[in-house]
Structure 1
Amino acid sequence: MTPLEARNPTVKLLLLVAVSLVTLALLDPATLVLLYLLGLAAARWGAGVGPRRLLLAQVPFWSFGVGVLLVNALSRPGEALVAGGPFRVTHEGLVVGAALALRGLVIGVGTVAFLASTPPRDLMVSLTRHARLSPRYAYALLAGHRMLAGLPRQWATIRAAQRVRAPLGRDGRPRDGWRAWARSAFALLVASIRASERVALALESRGLSAGPRSVWRPVPLGAGDAALAGGVVGVLALVLAAGAVLAPAGGWW
């Protein structure tokens, strides 16, 4: 069991929300880079995410960050660094774009660490016992998480079934085009809607809103969780203080 996996899911969720809210108020790229590096360390050694898995998990956030950086660098007014034809890259655009991109990276790596170290069942139990969330919503979140986890396998099954019925090309392989992919996506959507309806009926039939419920293997909440919360808050305060001290006197603007 990894260090973060042993901690209470509700505490980790609240810390993730707190760090995300603080990140949304920052425009200092240096501070955000330091927070991102700390998040990578937490995901790698705190949550036990392997290097390859961690790298692949960052690709969507990097892609989003590059897009945000380019849009701000080319569209935000300010001191021109590069000017050629219709394109004009400004210093303010680069700084603000980098900060906005780094915000997404910090929140993204924190989410990866949280999901990798939090079993869905423990999160559901902790939310009902410690966050006082209604079982109706907690069990619905658990069911939705398991449905999302099963989508890749269901997609592979649909694609395999359609490729069996697809016409063969001259090379003997099934001919797949954008229409085949669209049919597969529509089939997955229909199957997911039907499955969600069955799950909703099953949850209602088990009386999830009918009074208090007992829990087998409750999730503990103890001193270790308080130490985690204090440590994260303390490190966050130190990073913010260091960023305020080391930033240039005139700011990044």
Structure 2
Amino acid sequence: MTLPLSLGPVRPVPLSAINPVAQLGAIAVLLPVLLISGDVVTPSVVLAAEACLLPAAGLAAPRALLARTWPLLLGAAGVAWVNVLFGDEDGGGWPSALGLAVRVLALALPGVLLVASTDPVRLADALTLHWRVSTRFAYGALAALRLVPLLATEWQTIRLARRARGVDAGRNPVAQLRLFAGTAFALLVGAIRRGSRLAAAMDARGFDSGIPRTNARGSSLRPRDYAFVLAAAVVCAAAVTLSALTGVWSPVFGN
């Protein structure tokens, strides 16, 4: 079992210069437009603009990009295929399915860019300082994310340990399902125990004291961060304008 997205420390890339809160703000600007638009032009323009940021996020190499986005590609393909198979005859067929697939990619790719370019510690610092998110929640979520790769390693360890003891399902699908359920239960028990110890450790360090905490690293918003959010708004306006000029603009609430 491997993870498509790294949740550990991120090496600096050009997009790392943008504050994580500014990246989240840009995502918040894109989200309503992508959810409202029902055509293929609007998400295509947004997706093209997002793709221009791939080199800045260190994802210019096709292999690195595929390693992080293959679940998204499968999901988009699945959405398109289901829409074609079970959609109404008047639903537009493949053009409508293509629009949905592009919209899924346009919605998900900003998250990939954020994870690829942002260190989780910087994200937690920015959330607590700029958005006043509770330190208990922000750093608790940070600690939980840091444990996800460990869970993946433990999953593989449990599987190898059972195989070494001769516990193998072979080609029997029922046995494979039973073995999978047992492995998942063992992993769940270990995760609950580790989460309890983590919560106790955070309480011991005063994360639940209610006393305002200082921040050693700090986080500041610079003009380029505001320009990044403004650029996202410009891209949305351009996408909607182009869609309207080509006569394909079709908001979902108007159907």
Cα distance in 1 for partners of 2:168, 2:176 equals 12
| Corresponding residue number in structure 1 for 2:183 | 184
Cα distance, 1:239 vs structure 2: 2.1
CA contact (8 A) 1:26 1:99 kept: no
Cα distance in structure 2, aligned partners of 1:126 and 1:168: 47
Q: Give, in whole Å, the separation in 2 of the partners of 1:250 and 1:242.
A: 12
What TM-score do the two structures reach when normalised by structure 2?
Answer: 0.82
Equivalence map 1:71-150=2 (5 Å): 71-79=82-90, 92-150=92-150
Scaled by the length of structure 1, the TM-score of the pair is 0.83
- Deviation at 1:24? 0.6
SS in 2 for 1:33: helix
| 1:134–1:209 contact (8 Å) kept in structure 2 | no
Unaligned runs of 5+ in 2: 1-11, 170-174
Q: Distance in 1 between matches of 2:14 and 2:72?
A: 25
| CA distance in structure 2 between the partners assigned to 1:167 and 1:12 by the alignment | 47
Partner of 1:173: none
The correspondence of residues 156-171 of structure 1 with structure 2, limited to 5 A, is 156-166=156-166
Task: Summarize deviations over 1:174-223 as a string: whole Å, max 9, x none.
Answer: xx944433322221111111111111111122221331111112122111
* 249 and 120 in structure 1: CA distance in 2 versus 1, 3 angstrom threshold: closer
Which of structure 1's runs of 4+ aligned residues deviate more than 4 A?
A: 248-251
Shift of 1:68: 2.0
**Which runs of structure 2 are paired with 1:1-253 in the superposition (5 Å)?**
1-42=12-53, 44-49=54-59, 50-79=61-90, 92-166=92-166, 177-210=176-209, 211-248=211-248
Cα distance in 1 between the residues matched to 2:186 and 2:247: 53
Structure 2 distance, partners of 1:166, 1:63, is 34
SS in 2 for 1:209: coil
Identity percentage of aligned residues: 32
Assess if the C-alpha contact under 8 Å between 1:73 and 1:93 holds in 2: yes
Cα offset, 1:7, TM superposition: 1.2
Distance 1:20 1:150, change over 3 A: farther
CA deviation profile, 1:36-69 (whole Å, cap 9, x unmatched): 2222221x21211242121233222222222222
1:132 is aligned with what amino acid? R
Secondary structure of the structure 1 residue equivalent to 2:16: coil
Question: What amino acid is the match of 1:54?
Answer: L
Deviations 1:90-144 (A, max 9, x none): x624333322222211111111001111111001111110111111111111111
* Post-superposition CA distance 1:140-180 (Å, at most 9, x none): 111111122322222222222222212689xxxxxx94443
**Structure with larger RCO (C-alpha < 8 A, sep 6+):** 2
| C-alpha separation in 1, matches of 2:160 and 2:86 | 45
Alpha-carbon RMSD across the aligned residues, in angstroms, is 2.6
Which letter maps to 1:181? F
* 1:207 aligned counterpart, secondary structure: coil
Aligned positions, number: 235
Letter in 2 for 1:196: G
Q: Aligned pair in 2 of structure 1 residues 71, 250: CA closer, same or farther (>3 Å)?
A: closer
Instruction: Summarize the Cα distance change of 1:32–1:201 in structure 2 as closer, same or farther, 3 Å threshold.
Output: same
User: SS at the partner of 2:15?
Assistant: coil
Q: Which has the higher Rg, Structure 1 or Structure 2?
A: 1
Please list every run of 5 or more consecutive structure 1 residues that lacks an aligned counterpart in the other structure. Answer: 80-90, 170-175
Q: Which whole-Å CA distance do the structure 2 matches of 1:7 and 1:105 have between them?
A: 22
